[in-house]
């Protein structure tokens, strides 16, 4: 999977800029690609392989994510992650061999993720990794409208994150 990271905020959390987390996040996404291999194949456009899929990840402020949340979800508040999945529309976007196929965009609020990490006594990096995996799962069709779906989604998060998974007690993994 091709990954592009962009920080739209200059904010540092505990002296760490979001882009300094990229090596850790890239390792986690390699694991995600293996764990989700069958699902990724299903979401590939004709002629593409999972390694052709591309995700753009944006680190943003609470203000920017609040604006996105209001504009696209009708919720006037900041949130931790917003995902825009393009794979559902793959029949309208042809695949060009040799180019990354845009599977989706993930927006992560540095502010909200930092707050959540502090509230849960977690390292910031761990919560950011969890939220990136959460957004990736949404990109490829996972959702959590009910307890059963949420447990299935969390099971995938646990499979990807292993020791970094922050909600072991809550979900019994």
Instruction: Write the pLDDT tens digit of every residue in 27-70.
Output: 999 999 999 999 999 999 888 999 999 999 999 999 999 999 99
pLDDT at residue 46 in the model: 86
Q: pLDDT category, 86, cuts 50, 70, 90?
A: very high
pTM, whole model, 2 decimals? 0.95
Sheet (strand 53-60) strand order: 2-7, 53-60, 101-109, 81-85
pLDDT, mean of residues 13-32: 96
What residue spans of 37-101 are helical by DSSP H? 37-43, 62-73
Class of residue 148 by CB neighbours under 10 A (exposed 0-12, middle 13-18, buried 19+): exposed
pLDDT, mean of residues 85-111: 90
The full set of domain ranges for the chain reads: 2-171
pLDDT at 173 exceeding the cut of 80: no
pLDDT at residue 131 in the model: 97
**pLDDT digit string (tens) for 106-159?**
999 999 999 999 999 999 999 999 999 999 999 999 999 999 999 999 999 999
Q: Rounded to whole angstroms, what are the CA distances from 65 to 28, 61, 62?
A: 23, 6, 5
CA angle at residue 96 from 107 to 4, to 5 degrees? 25
Q: Where does residue 123 fall: left (phi above 0), alpha (psi -120 to 50 degrees), or beta otherwise?
A: beta
Query: 2-171, superfamily in CATH?
Result: Metalloproteases ("zincins"), catalytic domain (3.40.390.30)
Q: Parallel, antiparallel, or unpaired: how do β-strands 53-60 and 81-85 relate?
A: unpaired
**Burial 73-106, CB ≥16 within 10 A → b, else e:** eeeeebbbbbbbbbbeebeeeebeeeebbbbbbb
């Amino acid at each position: 999977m091709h990954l592009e990271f962009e920080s739209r905020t200059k904010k540092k959390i505990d002296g760490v800029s979001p882009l300094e987390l990229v090596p850790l996040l890239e390792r986690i996404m390699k694991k995600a690609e293996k764990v989700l291999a069958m699902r990724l194949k299903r979401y590939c456009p004709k002629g593409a392989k999972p390694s052709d899929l591309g995700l753009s990840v944006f680190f943003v402020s609470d203000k920017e994510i609040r604006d996105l949340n209001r504009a696209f979800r009708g919720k006037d508040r900041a949130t931790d992650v917003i995902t825009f999945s393009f794979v559902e529309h793959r029949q309208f976007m042809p695949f060009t061999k040799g180019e990354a196929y845009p599977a989706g965009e993930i927006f992560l609020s540095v502010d909200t993720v930092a707050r959540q990490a502090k509230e849960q006594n977690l390292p910031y990096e761990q919560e950011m990794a969890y939220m990136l995996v959460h957004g990736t799962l949404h990109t490829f069709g996972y959702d959590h409208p009910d307890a059963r779906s949420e447990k299935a989604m969390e099971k995938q998060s646990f499979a990807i994150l292993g020791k970094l998974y922050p909600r072991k007690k809550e979900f019994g993994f």
